[in-house]
Structure 1
């Protein structure tokens, strides 16, 4: 996805601008970035020759009429058509659209106008005559949700654009909290860059301090810290979750579920199955499965099996009353580094506080 986006941006920045564009997909942030680049190149600070229309409000024949009109004291006009559902199977209800006028325009667009159709849908209806024609005459680009590695790259570039710096771990943490929704990420990046000046680096602590998150995301990050063996961070998060009234037994169950998934993914991957295929086999979301695959790299099969046995033993001790639930989870967390070959973690008062 990012490859096509970069190629498109590069061609626009080099002045290779076409008369017709059709953008579709769910990733509106990237779509709007391209539109902003077109505005910058064609009609900077020129409100007379940059027009926006919405297909729910304006008939397409009126848009065509504007596209056919000469620019006002300029070389080109830019026409942006929002929610151009005419190229999908969706039917509008507010206005009547004369598609014949659009078909004629697509066959012979005005040389002094650039028209951009924005379709906020994952698919075009390629059976429709108007869509087939647009795919022949316009530059058609899909804007779908970025893959995780693409999202990391996008975050780093957005921070650099704001003259900031961010660590790889901070990028991973931000994705854990927010996911790969670029609109939400953009808001968080703005916040992080405003908080830090150009001499500071955005690290995990800054992300933890500022990023908006839900208790479910806090739990997800807690589990990630546990299985990565970063016990001091995990223990701090554990006490934070206790303050939010999360039950220790629930947290122990979720650790167990993650370790079990790590074991399954490791077993299947060693047999040659791809992560995407494994996700379907074990009934997990591909993003979650990929995360488990990355986490499992730090462990051998024997270590993961031993961890599951330890978790089962601790669960039994808690439920049989041999140990308190909070103490049981603490004990497991303190012993976990042994599975990674690290020294045991010692829990000091500063951590508990």
Structure 2
């Protein structure tokens, strides 16, 4: 992945007219120019063959926002199929660790075993998947290389020194709530050394799992394993992974917005998108603020305003938003998705080479490079 701190190409986002090769059009009731045009033979006498140098020139990656839980970055110069593949891999194929097996020794809470076990499986854990192997099936032997063990033992009792007039369960009782932080990691084999820097635990200890009252208690043992989101949503490493095309607002320079309509025109867009000069009442587009435009198309509902603007989205400029819920730092997630994609491409290449070799040896299949 090429991480370059570069600005968006002016040839892409600062055009004064609509270009169907670059833009997706937004009309009042429909969207135009949706289909991609970057494949060989679509435009006569033009060469669309793959060129790595040209691809590198167009490819741009820039981090716009970064926090401990989320990242927003721009990915420019790729086809929608690649962007969507990254999104799907982030959701379904980047591995994480989650609770898979629950052994219930005692559960006298109001929540039945099956429902409570399901809730336990959805608890995000901070375990780095790179430190564990995949446990292929339930019949495989659980070892310190493929399984993380937790135990949960909580009993609710009355607080004998609680104030007489108190009505707060947290004051009246001890352990009135079972929290994710109550899960206790039980080290197996060499795990105490492997996870010494970061002991396995829930990423959000304050998560409430169930409420207890005096006389109720829970005692369980849980085994967490490595998996991917396409097997079960609990293994998905992200809360959200989405992208949208960069909004593009094209003002008609030959037919500018009249001063008496400037304020109404500005109010049809998200705050900060349209600027109005206080002295001349001239309307312009804020290139930074346009990222926040929701493309509600409110301006197209007003015939007296719609004639001064065209709305579009830049076809190859994707704004990604990713929220991490597991062990991965947000900036690591795109790299993990690319790693998985490279593995898939490598497998496809190997299969193609085997098919080519088999065809050449049998003389039945003729495959040529294109």
Q: TM-score range by the shorter chain?
A: under 0.3
Q: Which has the higher strand share?
A: 2
